[in-house]
Structure 1
């Protein structure tokens, strides 16, 4: 049950943004075994004055940097997360052509009781 928030600079075409969503979904299916149709993602675009990514940690980022935050059940192993990071970078490199240096991923673990996926119910608690 991943929930994704993707932040990026405004101005990319719809096909580019769609490739990001499709690629992230594919990476999650492959690395985390998420079910079919388990796709809860939102892209937020920011004007250049409202979006900044530094070059800390020895990574030279460009204006095409993506900030990807993924909230998941607190049951994923470090190995699964590492596989996810690799698959995201590889897949987004293929399409829409995002450099691996521009893929910043943060995974947040959330207990299952923190989720309601509709109808006012705690489906996983």
Structure 2
């Protein structure tokens, strides 16, 4: 049930952009055990000056292909799982979309089951945890 926001510039070719949701989904499936069909992505293409990243921060060599991946997910993944996720997203972004690993920034935000509603105004994970009451 992760929710993913991917931000790129509007100068990035649409073919590259369209690969990114699948790249992140496949990396999450391979590294943090998300279920099949659990794909919720908002892809944003920003105009000039709307996506700002220092080109050399932390020793990177960022280009116009800078890609910010922000994943909101439930708590519980190990550091090793998260590191595998970072590596897999960077690898697949380069392999499938030609985006260099230096251009891929990933941020994880964790929360709990009470922080998700998939529709109908219900926190489905909370409802699923309630014990059944017999009549």
Q: 1:49 aligns to what SS in structure 2? A: coil
> What is the distance in 2 between the residues matched to 1:73 and 1:90?
24
Question: Which residue is equivalent to 2:91?
Answer: 90
Q: 1:50 aligns to what SS in structure 2? A: coil
2:105 is equivalent to residue 104 of structure 1:
yes
> What is the distance in 2 between the residues matched to 1:112 and 1:99?
34
Superposed displacement of residue 111, structure 1? 1.0
Q: 2:97 aligns to what SS in structure 1? A: coil
Taking structure 1 as the reference length, the TM-score comes to 0.95
Question: Which residue is equivalent to 1:121?
Answer: 122
Between 75-84 and 11-20, the greater mean CA deviation after superposition: 11-20
Question: Which residue is equivalent to 1:25?
Answer: 25
CA RMSD of aligned residues (A): 1.0
Q: 2:69 aligns to what SS in structure 1? A: strand
Tell me how many residue pairs correspond in the alignment: 125
Structure 1: 5+ residue stretches without partners: none
Off by >4 Å, runs of 4+ in structure 1: none
Instruction: Please give the per-residue CA displacement for 1:71-121, whole angstroms capped at 9, x wherever unaligned.
Output: 010111111110100000011110111100000000001111111111111
> What is the distance in 2 between the residues matched to 1:29 and 1:39?
10
Question: Which residue is equivalent to 2:53?
Answer: 53
Question: Which residue is equivalent to 2:39?
Answer: 39
Question: Which residue is equivalent to 1:71?
Answer: 72
Taking structure 2 as the reference length, the TM-score comes to 0.88
Q: 1:71 aligns to what SS in structure 2? A: strand
Question: Which residue is equivalent to 2:2?
Answer: 2
> What is the distance in 1 between the residues matched to 2:20 and 2:47?
19
**Radius of gyration: which is bigger?**
2
Q: 2:73 aligns to what SS in structure 1? A: strand
